[in-house]
């Protein structure tokens, strides 16, 4: 039986894995809000999907800017009665590799604000809509590089920000389980995007599918987990 259409917000939806998530979910008939920090890039992405006969809505949202998060939440509350899924996908990777011994304060600050603080504040701001849509979900797009169990030197700012996102995922999962909202972290794998680079092992289609499967294949009852294509991975 086909699942009923869900209303789903994707951050950083204008390119890479975020755009692919919007594409795959729109093909399944869901109501997609594609958000981006640039109105131009966001609307171009909406137009790209429209050429594929996929209709998605646009929302202006800079996840590194608290005022933008609040404004986007107000805008969404006018447009929607419920939100079933929030996908915190937007992230930055300012320095490829990079040791903890020389990571700059700016990189630590910027990655934390975008990759960790943004998802937390956005989840807070959208709680009324998520509660109205329960059982609902928050999916935090994380990375193997954020796994505490697999910490090696390199990718310092990014890895720390994603480990902190994983910690936030667990805190949110605990706080939101009684309210009917599941919260999981998901790694898309190493994907050929601007961030992942050309040598990455997975196509953007596969990377997107690894996140979309949290909606199509993972039950609402599963919360507080860190997932990859083949199931749970170590925090």
Ligand X SMILES: NC(=O)c1ccc[n+]([C@@H]2O[C@H](COP(=O)([O-])OP(=O)(O)OC[C@H]3O[C@@H](n4cnc5c(N)ncnc54)[C@H](OP(=O)(O)O)[C@@H]3O)[C@@H](O)[C@H]2O)c1
Known catalytic residues are 158
Q: Which of 181, 193, 173, 184 is nearest to 211 (CA)?
A: 184
Question: Which residue's CB atom is positioned nearest to ligand X?
Answer: 16
Helix axes 118-125, 156-176, angle to 10 degrees: 20
3-class state of residue 232 by DSSP: strand
Q: Does 62 help bind ligand X (rule: CB under 6 A)?
A: yes
Question: Which H or E element spans position 42?
Answer: helix 39-51
Q: Does 112 help bind ligand X (rule: CB under 6 A)?
A: no
Q: Does 176 help bind ligand X (rule: CB under 6 A)?
A: no
Q: Which stretch binds ligand X (CB under 6 A): 6-14, 97-105, 175-183, 220-228?
A: 6-14
Q: Does 121 help bind ligand X (rule: CB under 6 A)?
A: no
Cβ-in-10-Å burial (0-12, 13-18, 19+) of 219 comes to: exposed
Q: Does 169 help bind ligand X (rule: CB under 6 A)?
A: no
CB of 157 to ligand X, least distance (A): 12
CB nearer to ligand X: give 132 or 229: 229
d(CA 183, CA 102): 33
Q: Does 71 help bind ligand X (rule: CB under 6 A)?
A: no
Among 10, 22, 32, 37, binds ligand X (CB under 6 A): 37
Pairing of strands 136-141, 181-186: parallel
Among 26, 34, 49, 92, binds ligand X (CB under 6 A): 92
Question: Which H or E element spans position 36?
Answer: strand 31-36
Q: Does 59 help bind ligand X (rule: CB under 6 A)?
A: no
Is residue 185 within 8 Å of residue 115, measured between CB atoms? no
CB of 109 to ligand X, least distance (A): 13
Q: Which of 59, 60, 69 is nearest to 117 (CA)?
A: 69
What is the phi/psi pair of residue 88, to 5°?
-80, 90
Q: Does 122 help bind ligand X (rule: CB under 6 A)?
A: no
- Helix then strand count (H, E) for the chain reads 8, 8
CB nearer to ligand X: give 3 or 97: 97
Q: Does 190 help bind ligand X (rule: CB under 6 A)?
A: yes
Q: Does 161 help bind ligand X (rule: CB under 6 A)?
A: no
Q: Does 85 help bind ligand X (rule: CB under 6 A)?
A: no
Q: Does 17 help bind ligand X (rule: CB under 6 A)?
A: yes
Place of tokens 């800017």: 65
CB nearer to ligand X: give 113 or 132: 113
How many residues would you count in the chain?
235
Where does this chain bind ligand X (CB under 6 A)? 11-12, 14-18, 36-38, 41, 62-64, 89-92, 114, 141, 143, 187-188, 190-191, 193-196, 200
């Amino acid at each position: 039986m086909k699942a009923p259409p869900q209303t789903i917000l994707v951050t950083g939806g204008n390119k890479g894995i975020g755009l692919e998530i919007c594409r795959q979910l729109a093909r399944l008939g869901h109501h997609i809000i594609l958000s981006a920090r640039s109105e131009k890039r966001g609307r171009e992405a909406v137009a790209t999907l429209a050429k594929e006969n996929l209709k998605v809505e646009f929302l202006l949202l800079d996840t590194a800017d608290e005022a933008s998060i609040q404004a986007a939440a107000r805008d969404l509350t006018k447009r929607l009665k419920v939100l079933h899924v929030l996908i915190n996908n937007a992230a930055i990777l300012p320095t490829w590799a990079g040791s903890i011994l020389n990571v700059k304060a700016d990189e630590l600050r910027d990655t934390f604000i975008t990759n960790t603080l943004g998802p937390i504040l956005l989840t807070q701001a959208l709680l009324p809509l998520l509660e109205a849509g329960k059982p609902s979900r928050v999916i935090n797009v994380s990375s193997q590089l954020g796994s505490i169990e697999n910490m090696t030197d390199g990718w310092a700012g990014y890895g720390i920000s994603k480990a902190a996102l994983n910690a936030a995922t667990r805190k949110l999962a605990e706080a939101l389980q009684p309210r009917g909202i599941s919260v999981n972290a998901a790694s898309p794998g190493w994907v050929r995007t601007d961030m992942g680079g050309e040598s990455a092992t997975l196509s953007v289609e596969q990377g997107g599918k690894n996140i979309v499967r949290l909606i199509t294949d993972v039950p609402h009852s599963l919360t507080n987990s860190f997932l990859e294509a083949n199931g749970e991975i170590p925090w």
